[in-house]
Structure 1
Amino acid sequence: MLKALPIVGLAVVGSGSASAAAAYPSVIPLPTGFRPEGIVTGLGNEFFVGSLAAGAIYRGDLRTGSGEVFVPPVEGGVAVGLSHDARSNYLFVAGGPTGQASVYDANTGALVADYGLQGPPTFVNDVVVTRTAAYFTDSFRPALYRVPLGAGGDVPDQSAVEEIPLSGDFTSVGGFNANGIDAPPNGEYLIVVNSSTGLLYKVDPATGDATEIDLGGASLTAGDGILLEGRTLYVVRNQLNLIAVVQLDPEATAGEVVDEITDPQFDVPTTVAGFGNSLYAVNARFGTPDPANAEYDVVRVSK
């Protein structure tokens, strides 16, 4: 599932007749064999999707459904979770088993910076950008990686990268652990989900001290990408084909699963982005027998 395969013959998807389609389509096709994992919105109607196959980045339009491969595949590359900084219009990309983090100009697609976060075994899974730093999770190690940001979102050189051990209540088990990550606008704390245990944590971004968020006995196993909007947290539970809706208390120390969003079009969704009153989930289709020739898409559902 994690092996990076080259993408051959990626084409523009949705150009031509797509622009005449109904506004904000419910399903947006991606290139055949793209093997998507992460999704994030950018400026205006833009969205970006990363590929497990050689690290390509797709850029599309939520309103028209049109788009194209924006950052071409690179041998050995992997793109997993994505985050966007509106100040700089930079796109931050988690590199999975490569242990890398990349930053692209979301206007031109040019590589702005490339960081080595960790050597194997590692799986740099997801990323969130706050006002002061970009934070990356590692599903194989109990740690976060911090890339500090300057005024206007300026990125530093390699020497500024920090590893922050996850401590406190955080526990690791066999398999994938720390996965999706998000933060409130002020960056006061981070929220991280553990895919294997189903536990949710509030994390101090300076120290890595993690406090389990009390969900009243509910579990979020198979938790993947997460999206925090106010006190509402959306958690994609990939193999279960649903998005859990968690209502957090004002301190984000406790929460309640108040709803589950499902859709017949879901096929192992992994991550989610928000736009207006909608959520956009990317179908990774893990387990499909021929991923190099499989069809992939993004599904819009109501919040």
Structure 2
Amino acid sequence: MKLQTRRVLTLGALALGAAMAGGAGAPMTMAPASTPLSATAAMRDPAGQVLGTARFVQQGMGVQVTVEVRGLTPGQHGMHVHEYGRCTPGVDEATNTIVPFGGAGGHYDPGMSKNHDDPQAPNKYGHGGDAPMLNVGADGVGRATFTTDKFSLTGMNGALNRTLVIHARPDDYKSDPAGMSGARERCGVLVRDGLTTRDYTLPGAQDFPEGVAYDARRGILYTGSAVNGTIYAINAANGVVSKFQEGGALGRQAALGLKVDARGRLWIAGGAQGTVSILTPDGMTLKVLETPKSPNPYVNDLTPAPDGNVYVTDSNRPVIFRVDRNLNLTAWLNLAGTPVKYGPGVNLNGIVPTPDGRSLLAVQTNTGELWRIDLRTKAVRRVMTGLTNGDGLLLDGRTLYVTRNKDQVVSKVSLSADYGTGQLVTEEPLRGLRFPATLAMVGGDLVVTQAQLDRNMAGIPPETPFRLTRFGKF
């Protein structure tokens, strides 16, 4: 049954993002803040010929779209944003046959509505990719200009690296899955303007890479699967991937936060198993540490600190654990008596030490709060709010980078000299992040995992290959 709730397509109030330029191996610079985030799609026919363009410019929380395409039959043509960034043949779910541009998948559906509707339906009722029709004149040229907040170039409805598809027939805005709009006649990938990135791709169909860590002495990036615990080693220079340790080693079924210590050992947060695993540089398991037995553990992230200890967050239990130099694990701080209040969802998550060695910073995913924890007195102070869905942290001097998984951005925060206050500077969606979880620094660049854990939790097939994306500090 179609719900008839409707809304007017609107402009938002906040201009986000800025174009970036530079190579993958060198730091990139921000364009002026007044430059709006934008993307372009070269619209191709099934033979690969470019017969038009679509331009997307971020305006607040929505996007202005301008389309001009040649060589179409006069009349109205259905037009939608589709799920995948592939203008290749593939199976069309409407006909269950292989068709041109079937590789673009079905309609983009960030609200998981599983329902085709018109361009004014809220995303919880209809596909986020549902767009106005393209009107084609007698000369075969189709033109459209509209502004929508059903999809965007950033945030939870981000459409970067997805596709705009134009169909052969009008859209009836009611029939699932595509409004009876017929064959796919034009397709273009939404490519971010003014930015160069580099992807490291993984070989597995169930990799869901959550954690990432970098061993600068060996030039190796490590990443691990949140679903099966497999650890990969990636040559940061040439991208060659090898399996460092198979999932399931000594009972490890998941790999969340990863860190490399000063001795080149890899530390792994074990999630719901409540464990911390330590691997030697040659891939052998040195030790598996178990946190106290409990019905609902969730060891999420960890970090070596200048005091020689490793500190560990648990997202379900209000405690920070500590592993000392002798690999003894103890409950270091009971958070029940602090300003940190645990509630439903993912609580304390990413954690980093401050460069002065005096404190830890930790982000609370469900509340968006950033906390400073004094290593000597254990005093806890709230640094800032507004980092909802904050996941992994990376601290570069007084600049803090925060992956915000469901929001599909990396946020840049400027911290005060004592790390006691912070201010959000900008949010960067790169070329279309897919549930970014953690990040690491490689020289002057950052590398972020695209974990897609939202798809895993919802039982939706992931986009493959899984990837980590490298980009310059911004």
Normalised to the residue count of structure 2, the TM-score between the two structures is 0.54
Alignment pair present for 1:290 and 2:461: yes
Match of 1:123 in 2: 298
Letter of the aligned partner of 1:28 in structure 2? Answer: Y
Greater relative contact order (Cα < 8 A, sep 6+) = 1
Alignment pair present for 1:192 and 2:362: yes
Q: Give per-residue Cα distances to partners, 1:241-265, cap 9 Å, x unaligned.
A: 1111111000111111112122124
Displacement of 1:43 in angstroms is 2.8
State how far apart, in whole Å, the 2-side matches of 1:186 and 1:251 are. Answer: 9
Displacement of 1:76 in angstroms is 5.4
Instruction: Pick from 327, 335, 345 the counterpart of residue 175 of structure 1.
Output: 345
Displacement of 1:117 in angstroms is 1.2
Instruction: Pick from 67, 72, 79 the counterpart of residue 255 of structure 2.
Output: 79
Contact 1:224–1:270, Cα closer than 8 Å, also in 2? yes
Give the SS at the match of 1:192. strand
Instruction: Pick from 27, 30, 42 the counterpart of residue 199 of structure 2.
Output: 27
Alignment pair present for 1:41 and 2:217: no
State how far apart, in whole Å, the 1-side matches of 2:208 and 2:353 are. Answer: 27
State how far apart, in whole Å, the 1-side matches of 2:228 and 2:429 are. Answer: 30
State how far apart, in whole Å, the 2-side matches of 1:265 and 1:58 are. Answer: 23
Displacement of 1:205 in angstroms is 2.9
State how far apart, in whole Å, the 2-side matches of 1:174 and 1:79 are. Answer: 22
Normalised to the residue count of structure 1, the TM-score between the two structures is 0.83
Match of 1:15 in 2: none
Q: Give per-residue Cα distances to partners, 1:215-264, cap 9 Å, x unaligned.
A: 3xx50000000001110100110111111111100011111111212212
Letter of the aligned partner of 2:200 in structure 1? Answer: I
Instruction: Pick from 317, 322, 329 the counterpart of residue 146 of structure 1.
Output: 322
Give the SS at the match of 2:406. helix
Matches within 5 A, 1:217-236: 218-236=385-403
Letter of the aligned partner of 2:360 in structure 1? Answer: L
Contact 2:216–2:442, Cα closer than 8 Å, also in 1? no
State how far apart, in whole Å, the 1-side matches of 2:303 and 2:333 are. Answer: 15
Alignment pair present for 1:92 and 2:259: no
Displacement of 1:294 in angstroms is 4.1
Contact 1:265–1:299, Cα closer than 8 Å, also in 2? no
Change (3 A) 1:185 1:249: closer
Identity of aligned residues (%): 30
Q: Give per-residue Cα distances to partners, 1:36-64, cap 9 Å, x unaligned.
A: 10001113321100111232111111110
Gaps of 5+ in 1: 1-21, 150-154
Higher alpha-carbon deviation: 249-258 or 45-54: 45-54
Match of 2:430 in 1: 263
Letter of the aligned partner of 2:359 in structure 1? Answer: Y
State how far apart, in whole Å, the 2-side matches of 1:76 and 1:113 are. Answer: 11
Alignment pair present for 1:67 and 2:237: no
Gaps of 5+ in 2: 1-23, 27-196
Matches within 5 A, 1:232-247: 232-247=399-414
Contact 2:410–2:428, Cα closer than 8 Å, also in 1? yes
Contact 2:207–2:228, Cα closer than 8 Å, also in 1? no
Q: Give per-residue Cα distances to partners, 1:168-201, cap 9 Å, x unaligned.
A: 3211121110000001244310000000000000
Q: What is the number of residues matched between the two proteins?
A: 269
Match of 1:52 in 2: 226
Give the SS at the match of 1:240. coil
Tell me which stretches of 4 or more aligned residues in structure 1 moved more than 4 Å. Answer: 22-25
Match of 1:114 in 2: 288
State how far apart, in whole Å, the 2-side matches of 1:118 and 1:196 are. Answer: 24
Alignment pair present for 1:278 and 2:445: yes
State how far apart, in whole Å, the 2-side matches of 1:235 and 1:266 are. Answer: 13
Match of 2:167 in 1: none
